[in-house]
Chains A and B, each alone.
Chain A
Amino acid sequence: MTNRSVDLIGADDAQASSAPAVEFREITKHFGAVTACEEVNMTLWRGQIHGVLGENGAGKSTLMKILIGLVMPDRGKILVHGEEQQISDPLDAAALGIGMVHQHFSLIDALTVWENVTLGDSGSLNPEAIRNRIGDIGDQYGLVIDPYALVGELTAGLRQRVEIIKCLRRDPQILIFDEPTAVLTPEESEQLFNSLRNVVTSERRAVALVSHKLDEMLSAADEISIMRQGRIVDHCLASETDAPTLARGIVGREVLLRSEQAALGVARTEQRSLGRDDRRSASALTETSVLRIERAVVRSPDGFRLLDELDLEVKPGEIVGVAGVEGNGQRPLGDLLSSLLALESGRVEVDGKTISSGRPGAMAVAGVGVIPEDRHDSGVVLDMTVAENLILTNPDRFAKRSVIDLKMVGAFAQQMIEEFDIQCDGPFAPMWSLSGGNQQRVVLARELAQKPKVLVAAQPTRGLDVAAIEYMSSRLRLAAEENVAILLISSELEEILDLSDRIVVLQKGQVAGEIARGEADLEHLGLLLGGSAL
């Protein structure tokens, strides 16, 4: 691993004109025994986009939170425009001209655009001035938006636009973008980076771009710092590096496993063709579908069509990837198959039988297992024990005359804990004492133990580290080999390309296109996601 000197980077006109916009000097932050940041040195220059790359838990978000005043460092200094500053809350940061566009939107659906934009300001409320400011920013950066629109009715792309305007309204000289493209189409991402480039070059602002996506970094950033376990492990110019090098930096070793590569976005088409052998897909074709969704229509309470005549089939042993920009029906599809939503029309068939949608537990009884998108929302009960969580969906199996046999439950839970390598204080440890990855394993264990015919995996690797992603992927492959029909709903294209036999693209609650694995590549899929015809 080459460690270039920081001082050489960005030594062009930016440095010549003034001091760096931000300089982190030996920033260290420990949380108890855990090191979040260790002696981090980093420099943000005006007129440059600085990429901060690393996997979940590498410390990049903590570093940014230190800059925005949400976390106080244990040691080290922050210099803003050459002067040492104490940033103890977001208001301090704002006063120094530091603004952040948050990873998950900080917007409020029930309020209008202008109300959202001014949220968090101080002083008396002057709607006229705010709306004018929104118009000005829109003209200046090409971020046009109707200030009176209700935020809840905007698309993901427009919502992010509001978020950016909200940040730009204070005219910050230093901008932080935290995973800005998670909910955008490739096209919208490109637009975002164009306006970002505009902000940076024409107005000489400094931008920190936090991301875990390699290609995004390579195309958008000027220089890149890679963080691992709280340290900066590499630092380079975007123009002088490539994806495999960056991937090595993130993980700290050669990246060999396919799913790791997928998770990091280094997998290329030729590697992908080494995937699951085609014999399986061929044999799958001969069987009839175990899950069949026909012309499914689901409406939200306010009448909006969440699923709009959706057709979908999955055969035993087949992994069907559902790609699409978030908010196009993925969540309702998962909820429909979890019995959480009822159909307005259409039907869902499992193994040839029509399942009554929305009836509590009907899908589970019919053999549909679900790894939900948000495990806290519909996966686990935090206030119950691990064992209880493992038997939730089918407690009768462990009961005699409806009295639960604790011995049996304990033995089962112990078996699951061993088989799925769940780290916990035994079967009767409370669920909340487990880490996120281990909670996800509990969900996986429970759903697979039911011997499902269909397994719905919604964003199964979100928020997990590389090793956990690899585990999850291999488990899904294993399940497919055991002839489970798998519906993989994911917003990570690489994950979908890595695992799926067949890929469908969701758009506005419909299947907008379908591609066999052989034909799939990122560009093709990207176009589909953006709404281009096949």
Chain B
Amino acid sequence: MISLYIKRLSFGQVLSSFLLLFLVLLWIVPTVGLFVSSFRDKDQLAITGWWTALSTTERNEFRRTGTKDDQVQLGEKYIISGNFFDAGGKIIQTFSTSFKNLTEYNSGETAKFKDGSLFTLHADGEYQWVSNTPFKHKRGKRVFYVAKVPPTFSLDNYREVLKAEGVGQSFINTLKVTIPATVIPIMIASFAAYAFAWMKFPGRQFLFVTVVGLLVVPLQMSLIPLLSIYNEIGNYFGVSAKSYPGIWFAHTGFGLPLAIYLLRNYIGSLPREIIESARMDGATHMQIFSRIVLPLSVPALASFCIFQFLWVWNDLLVALVFLGKKDDQIVLTSKLRELLGSRGDNWEILTSSAFISIIIPLIVFFALQRYFVRGLVTGSVKS
């Protein structure tokens, strides 16, 4: 009876494992595809699927030989020689002077051309063209070949987007937006949360219910009025309406309801005796807050920090409305969206830019997952 129970359980577990494995693969494959692609050679990336990245591909290409200026006379013979490739790696299989018949000669064989000259092409791209009469052509002769191309991975794509496409600059811009937009709301919210939890004042309940209501107010409700306030302030002082402080404050305003709500619930659940005995000993609220409550609230502060950091880093809408699109203000998400429009087919640029934009959140996320999950769960699970 017991053995039967175990058997059924283990069968269930095997089935669970398979099903879960399938789902996990489904979930990570798109990201893996992006990651792999960002390191691939851009020509390979454009014509073959990322899943072939590790396999050697066969490619049909052509190169031009040297011209008459390259020839050297050796006794009776005139010779043009050289190498088709700058770097090693490609292995030529077959070649021909006509693209219709690529397998005419194997690499290493010598082809005899109509004019009687002899052309030898080796697997590594070395060629030798020997003729009894001087060469006269001004353009190199085209030689078609089939080559095996080994997989190549490099950081070239990253180098290009960081410098030439300005993604490096927008990375700095994003940092410049994100750090204050995370720190400022958490400071403001922790003071407010303390007041809501441990201070007595008229209207406390009403104000906190308002905060709960504001939790779900869509951002869209704020955009139009704020844009006109910003424009008026900008006009009045003769400065640009789009500025870093402007977006810090916007993120502060939008992040505050959740911050106050989470922190108040946490700070409010600290043991009453601790705070009351400190009051008895004559500690001021400021002292209790900074010396007792803040150190005890580190887990809640950390989880909100991660929330806000991820939210601000990943935000597009607020950045589009409150920041400019010039190089000195454009953030990563905004840049990425622009590249999607202008470089829609250049996957080497898109994949590497996208990866640069998601790497920091991923690191933060995996390093601090515990706090993040704890914050989510306390906000959602009813005891």
Same assembly: no
A residues with CB within 8 A of B: none
